[in-house]
Amino acid sequence: MNKVEGVIFDWAGTTVDFGCFAPVNAFINVFKEAGIKVTMEEARAPMGLLKIDHIRAILNMPRISGLWEEKYERLSSEQDVEHLYGKFKSALMASLSTYTDPKPEVVETVNSLREQGLKIGSTSGYTQKMMDVVVPEAKEKGYSPDFYITPDGTNSLGRPYPYMIYRNMEALKLTAAKNVIKVGDTIPDIEEANNAGVWSVGVIIGSSEMGLSADEFNALSEEDQEKAITKTRQTFLQNGAHFTIKSMSELPAIIEQINQLNQGDRVRDQDGGLSALQY
């Protein structure tokens, strides 16, 4: 069988939480409480990682590291990481339920894929406790994958490791990597897909990479919207995505392209060049 059998989605910024604001706001507030002003761009940069790894990544940024050393007269430690992560978890859990609305076109697209016989999986940078809030809330609003897993289920080996994708493939009985698509909104999503050997699709509008709320995006002129879309698309492609979609309604057409590529035993990327994904 050479057709796509399953699609594995990310959560925040991909299927729910337009713009991926729940974790970003929590990161900014936690560092602010510690006396360190982190910008929105800095808070978003490691998005997609396991959240404790995300905190480590922020602390390792040269500017943040310098501010920390200036304030505390020492480099940050693993104890600092654990302390900030504890604060982050509390802050995120307090607000998480308000960031579970499915993004536009997600419910309709997923239902259509299911009608075609595709399995729907998911991976996340959230912990299991966080997903215990997100999953039932999203289900009530119409979105519920067939399977989900967090880094808690892979010995804390989250993105960019491929193991969450492998667990999806096992649970959903997907036969081969070339028949699997991973859809995400961050660079670690793309790296996770490439490390697993599956097709990588970056979703642009409402992504963490774009970093705009629905109101902010809709307030842009048509020209500025296209600039934001182009910039995000280029970032995804430059970091190894095989395809990009502006929004979820474009995914079925990408699936059809991949089916044709698999049938022809040729693998090409969105710009028409040979892809690194070869079988």
Q: Give catalytic residues, as residue numbers.
A: 10, 51
Q: Where are the beta strands (DSSP E) in the chain?
A: 6-9, 119-122, 180-184, 199-203, 243-245
pLDDT, tens only, 35-74? 999 999 999 999 999 999 999 999 999 999 999 999 999 9
Q: Exposed, middle or buried by CB within 10 Å (0-12, 13-18, 19+), for 67?
A: middle
**17 annotated among ligand-binding-site residues:** no
Task: Indicate yes or no: pTM above 0.85.
Answer: yes
Domains in the chain: boundaries: 6-20+100-264, 21-98
Note the pLDDT of residue 279: 35
Cα separation, 184 vs 71, whole angstroms: 36
Domain 21-98: give its CATH architecture: Orthogonal Bundle (1.10)
pLDDT digits (tens, 9 = 90+) for 87-112: 999 999 999 999 999 999 999 999 99
- CA separation (Å) from 153 to 50, 125, 127, 192, 234? 12, 11, 9, 15, 32
Given a contact cutoff of 8 angstroms between Cβ atoms, the answer to whether 257 and 243 are in contact is: yes
Q: How far out from the chain centre does Cα 242 lie?
A: 15
CATH superfamily of 6-20+100-264: HAD superfamily/HAD-like (3.40.50.1000)
Q: Of 21, 44, 165, whose CA–CA distance to 100 is shortest?
A: 21
92 in Cβ contact with 129 (< 8 Å):
no
pLDDT in tens, the chain (279 residues): 689 999 999 999 999 999 999 999 999 999 999 999 999 999 999 999 999 999 999 999 999 999 999 999 999 999 999 999 999 999 999 999 999 999 999 999 999 999 999 999 999 999 999 999 999 999 999 999 999 999 999 999 999 999 999 999 999 999 999 999 999 999 999 999 999 999 999 999 999 999 999 999 999 999 999 999 999 999 999 999 999 999 999 999 999 999 999 988 555 455 544 344 433
Residue 10, annotated ligand binder? yes
